Amino acid sequence: MPVNQQGVALIVVLLFLILITLAGAIAVRNSTTDLKLATSEQADTLLLNTADNTNKSIEQTINIDSSNAQALARKSIALGKAGMFGYFMNIGGEENRGDQIVFCYRPRANYFFRMSEATVIDPSGGSKLTTGSTSTGGFCRTSKAEDFSSARNNVMTQVAITRPTSAMVASRPFEFVDTQRTVNTEDNTSSTPNFRLYSTSFLPGLTQAKESDILDCLKKPNQNAADYGFAGKDDDDNDITLYYDETMTQCLANLGVPAKTLIEDVKLENLLTSEKCLDYGKGTASNSFSDECQDLLNITATGAPK
């Protein structure tokens, strides 16, 4: 074979090798892109489901089975003076409206909520100590396995509960007062308080961000960042008030941490139940009160005081 023909064959072979290499590179690139898209969709679904389950768990804490002693205890804590809802109704009344109770959701723990492991933040960005110790704070820590929502240690959820101020809630007069209930400003059960829940789920394992940087993000407002201030210093070391320039989710996004915040407005309603004991002015056929009426009125079956 002439030398020039051997050179042509070599060039053709090299061209085929280049084409095969390019085809392989394009295939690998498309496969990598498809994998990233699938991972992003899975992460988004996981975050949404986790945040939604958190809000459902809070709802179930109130709407419990009365026969479950442990559930009743959790409800009592939630509505007590140092509870996630009771704080806004029992201590300070209107003065606490606008505060936020922040805590890390730990479904694997043997308790649902403890004020000693929460942080109360006032509208100005300052922290309040209500009870117990705040050494651990109410913020999720990526170095603590118990702060993850599942045993896979992949997703965390931080919760913030607030009772919006009157200016934040547009309502009609007496809209949140139950029917058949006497209005009493000293009785918080005479109204239907409105609450706002922020559940932020995030995946710290999908980023190389440090725990301290993530913690700084978790301390930022859930929305309307510019409305919240915090103490700072100017160039002359004078005390001034600084304002946040981004929300929690925006901060996490800038760190590359996938996150999703679910916001829900809820009402804490007092359901009124009645038990008919006797028709007015009449007795009963059996001349005795039912067990429910005896417990309600603290009387015997014949109507005598116990």
Cα dihedral value 148, 150, 152, 154, nearest 10: -50
pLDDT band, very low/low/confident/very high, at 157 (cuts 50, 70, 90): very high
Q: Are residues 83 and 206 in the same domain?
A: yes
C-alpha distances out from residue 89 to 73, 83, 131, 149, 187, Å: 18, 10, 16, 29, 9
Domain shared by 150 and 209, yes or no? yes
Give me the pLDDT at residue 170, please. Answer: 46
Rounded Cα–Cα distance for residues 208 and 223 (Å): 25
Considering the domain architecture, whether residues 280 and 248 belong to the same structural domain is answered as: no
- Which domain covers residue 297, as residue numbers? 273-306
pLDDT, residue 175, reads 53
Q: Do both 249 and 302 map to the same domain?
A: no
Residues 280 and 189 grouped into a single domain:
no
Helix (H) or strand (E) holding 28: helix 3-62
Is 80 exceeded by the pLDDT of residue 29? no
**Per-residue pLDDT averaged across 23-41, rounded?**
61
Q: What is the C-alpha separation between 237 and 216, in angstroms, rounded? A: 22
Q: What percent of the chain has pLDDT over 90?
A: 8
Q: Which residue, among 250, 52, 48, 263, has the nearest Cα to 162 in the 3D structure?
A: 263
> Angle at the Cα of 78 (from 147 to 82), degrees rounded to 5?
90
**What is the tens place of the pLDDT at every residue in 177-195?**
555 555 554 444 446 788 8
Of 117, 130, 112, 131, residue with least CA distance to 59:
112
The DSSP code sequence of 238-252 is -EEEEE-SS-HHHHH
Instruction: Report how far residue 243's alpha carbon sits from residue 246's, in angstroms, rounded to the nearest whole number.
Output: 9
Q: pLDDT by residue (tens digit) across 198-219?
A: 999 999 988 888 999 999 898 8
Q: Determine the Cα–Cα distance for residues 138 and 201; give it in Å rounded to an integer.
A: 14
Q: Say yes or no: 300 and 226 in one domain.
A: no
Residue 225 is predicted with a pLDDT of 73
Cα(294)–Cα(303) distance, integer angstroms: 8
Are residues 84 and 199 both part of a single domain? yes
pLDDT of residue 134: 44
- 82 and 212 assigned to the same domain: yes
Residues 92 and 226 in one domain: yes
Tokens describing residue 46: 């996981």
Predicted pLDDT at 273: 64
- 32 vs 11, more confident: 11
**Of the candidates 253, 43, 247, which has an alpha carbon nearest to the alpha carbon of residue 155?**
43
The number of beta carbons lying within 10 Å of the beta carbon of residue 33 is: 10
Number of domains within the chain: 2
